[in-house]
A and B are shown apart, each in its own frame.
Chain A
């Protein structure tokens, strides 16, 4: 079973519906007691980084997630949920993140010199695989997925990049280290490839459960 963390932000309905279509059982909850029963967690989210971190603290989910990851259990962050996995973000004000992955969310604007381009990065962009053999990319190809974000992860750690996209520079699209995985785009809105990625995460979760048994 997958636990979707409800911390008051984001489109939880479409993530849960996508899991339903894939016949993946899930629980959508803000209660860490309930979420603890799951074999894998999804941290969704749209909205601002600062608000999201505050809500995770208020709802006392922060320590739960940190312990979850320390225990080696699978966690998937989506969009803002992915950015939260990193060291922090400069959105609105500098805010510390969960710190599972090295990197900082920066405004798109500051990444390129004197070139006028559209922000948010909104729409379908093509994936470029950095780790084609990664289990998250099983049965997918370098196709298009749906992005919408105004801040972009900047990281020195090449080894956490599983797939990237190009938008006036490199955009980390699928990232991961061990049991912590993230997608900057919305797999639940990315048609066939997106569904496949969620299915792959479902498999990772199922394998983890079998290993623990």
Chain B
């Protein structure tokens, strides 16, 4: 049977990994290729690269990064950030990424999901959803632009919408939990899992290895994504997977 995936996420700006990656023993902590190899060796099941470059030049550099990473990495990886068109997707996929992740662009123009799915297949299409609990709505509301802009979408409605348009996977980030380091948002994760039939990656809130057991025990999440907990070496992919295995969660 299929295993639960552990996915480190790397923020890339102008071709460099940013956001305090603290590793001893790496020649260059900001080098995306070196870091990907490091996580691969640790047993990461997949990687996500988020391009946070603001400039056109930075985006072009990202394509080079993708090409280099694809040349060394023997596990799948997803690239998100700034992908606005089928052409953008093609450029990233031809450079060697396995999947592209859409966020703001998908909310702006949901047809983009189906266009991408038609060209490249649903297995390439990840839709990243940033959700925050809204008292008035009595549910979670979708935000775009890195969590700055609220939309009218309620999370289950949006999740169903993106899947009907050809999303093959959902990367679900809890804005309430993100950075809080006290665990994944179990209610949100299970709510979305109940709404759709594609794999769901839980993201936001990982603070300790126990949090990963929780999200897999208490929800039907297929994968869990984390950034700082791995970058700051608070735990490692290896440790998390060993702990999961000990607790009876199926991992690679």
Contact = CB atoms under 8 A, between A and B. Distances in A.
Nearest to B251: A124
B29 interface: no
Interface in A91-132: 116-126
B96 A123 contact: no
Interface string B86-117: 00000001111010000000000000000000
Interface stretch (B67-75, B202-210, B211-219, B231-239): B67-75
Nearest to B118: A48
Interface residues of A, number: 39
Contacts of A48: 121
Interface residues of B, number: 32
Contacts of B1: 125-126, 166-167
A18 B74 CA distance: 8
Nearest to B124: A46
> Which of B67, B74, B120, B199 has most chain A Cβ within 10 Å?
B74
Contact of B75 (A13, A126, A146): A146
A105 B70 CA distance: 29
A74 to B, nearest CB: 22
A118 B198 contact: yes
Contacts of B121: 46-48, 80
Interface in B178-200: 197-199
A206 to B, nearest CB: 22
A162 interface: no
Contacts of A123: 2-3, 5, 45, 199, 222-223
Sorted nearest first, the 10 A-B pairs with minimum C-beta distance are A13-B96, A144-B252, A124-B252, A148-B123, A47-B121, A17-B71, A189-B76, A125-B2, A124-B3, A123-B2
Interface of A: 11, 13-14, 17-18, 20-21, 46-48, 80, 116-126, 143-144, 146-150, 166-167, 186, 188-192, 194-195
